[in-house]
Amino acid sequence: MPPARTFSLFVVLFGAWLLLSGHWDPFLLGCGAVSAALVAALARRMGAIDGEGHPIQLAWRFPAYLPWLVWRIALANLAVVRAILSPVAALDPAAGWVDANQKTTAGLVAFANSITLTPGTVSLTALPGRIHVHALARGELEELKEGEMNGRVCAMEGRR
């Protein structure tokens, strides 16, 4: 629980206050600073601030991962729309385990959420090292097993 992480939580909370309120007079700015500091202090006291509770370490490399994820989501949307509009008999759903090589819980959650966020694949169970995935088409499950998304999330996690 390093103080730097508590401070970064404070900055994020105060930033959210500024963007959502849109008022800039000293009284409301003061209220925002006090609220953000109080929440950061409470979270620190709860022991909730670590690489899992406030995974700011993923934020640096996230912009490099985002465009690829958005592109995959767009492609997957088209595939699922086609599957919905085609006859039900043509469906070939499949379930299986996919390797997850992330070293931290935050990285594993990022990978499982990326899988679920991509239409056509849903993570059913996430365990360290492997994720149980249900796919609307067998090909999408095979593609996940090849591990490109796994590798990209690992790259976002960084080498430590």
Partner 1 sequence: MSAALDIASWVLLVGGALLMTIGALGLIRLPDFFTRLHAAGVVDTGGAGLLLLGMALQTGFDLVTVKLVLIGLVLALTAPTASHAVAHSALLGGLSPDDPSANRAGDGRDEAPD
Instruction: Provide the binding-site residues for partner 1, judged by CB under 8 A.
Output: 16, 19-20, 22, 73-74, 76-77, 80-81, 83-85, 88, 91, 93, 95, 112-114, 116-126, 132, 134, 136
In whole angstroms, the minimum distance from the beta carbon of 88 to partner 1 comes to: 6
In whole angstroms, the minimum distance from the beta carbon of 110 to partner 1 comes to: 10
In whole angstroms, the minimum distance from the beta carbon of 87 to partner 1 comes to: 10
Q: Which is nearer to partner 1, 107 or 120 (CB)?
A: 120
Q: How far apart are CA 155 and CA 151, in angstroms?
A: 6
Q: How far apart are CA 72 and CA 29, in angstroms?
A: 40
Q: How far apart are CA 58 and CA 68, in angstroms?
A: 16
Cβ neighbors of 16 (< 8 A, separation 6 or more) are none
Closest CA to 106 of 95, 98, 116, 114: 114
Q: Which is nearer to partner 1, 64 or 95 (CB)?
A: 95
Tokens 């008022």 sit at which residue? 23
Tokens 């499982």 sit at which residue? 112
In whole angstroms, the minimum distance from the beta carbon of 159 to partner 1 comes to: 25
Q: Which is nearer to partner 1, 81 or 155 (CB)?
A: 81
Q: Which is nearer to partner 1, 17 or 147 (CB)?
A: 17
156 and 114 Cβ atoms separated by less than 8 Å = no
In whole angstroms, the minimum distance from the beta carbon of 101 to partner 1 comes to: 19
Q: Which is nearer to partner 1, 2 or 22 (CB)?
A: 22
Tally the residues of the chain.
160
